[in-house]
Amino acid sequence: MRLSTRMGRLGTESAFEVLARARALEAQGRTITHLEIGEPDFATPAHIVDAAVRALEEGHTHYVPSPGIPELREAVAEFLERTGRLATSPDRVIVTPGAKPILWYVLHAVCEEGDEVLIPDPSFPIYGSLASFVGATPIPVPLREEHGFRLDPSELASLVSDRTKLLIVSSPENPCGSALTREDVEAIASIAIEHDLLVLSDEIYWAICYEGRKHVSVLDVDGMADRTVLLDGWSKTFAMTGWRLGFGVFPAWLVEPVTRLVINSVSCTAAFGQHAAIAALRGPWEPVEAMVAEFARRRDVIVDGLNAIDGISCVRPGGAFYVFPNVRGLGFPSREVERHLLDDAGVAVLSGTGFGIHGEGYVRLSYAASVERIRGALDAIGASVQGLVR
Instruction: Mention the CATH class of domain 47-282.
Output: alpha beta
Using one digit for the tens of pLDDT, what is the confidence trace for 264-279? Answer: 999 999 999 999 999 9
Minimum mean pLDDT range among 4-8, 169-173, 334-338, 365-369? 4-8
Stated pTM of the model = 0.95
Q: Are 188 and 153 spatial neighbours (Cβ–Cβ below 8 Å)? A: yes
- In Å, how far are 182, 201, 215 from 289, measured between CA atoms? 23, 23, 14
Whether 15 shows a pLDDT value over 90: the answer reads no
What pLDDT score does 14 carry? 81
Query: What pLDDT is attached to residue 50?
Result: 98
Query: What are the boundaries of each domain within the chain?
Result: 5-43+287-385, 47-282
- The three-class DSSP label of residue 46 is helix
Q: What is the pLDDT of residues 254-263, one digit of tens each?
A: 999 999 999 9
**Residue 390 pLDDT:** 57
- Contacts of residue 126, defined as CB under 8 A and 6 or more positions apart, other chains included, come to 11, 13, 100, 103
- Phi and psi at residue 54, in whole multiples of 5°? -60, -40
Classify domain 5-43+287-385 at the CATH superfamily level: Aspartate Aminotransferase, domain 1 (3.90.1150.10)
pLDDT band at 38 (very low <50, low <70, confident <90, very high): confident
How far from 192 is each of 149, 159, 174, 195, 308, CA to CA, in Å?
20, 12, 22, 5, 41
**Region 181-201 average pLDDT:** 98
As a whole-number percent, the residues of the chain with pLDDT over 70 amount to 99
In angstroms, rounded to a whole number, what is the distance separating the alpha carbons of residues 340 and 327? Answer: 12
Cα separation, 131 vs 159, in Å, equals 16
pLDDT band at 324 (very low <50, low <70, confident <90, very high): very high
Q: Pairing mode, if any, of strands 363-366 and 322-323? A: antiparallel
pLDDT the model gives residue 333: 96
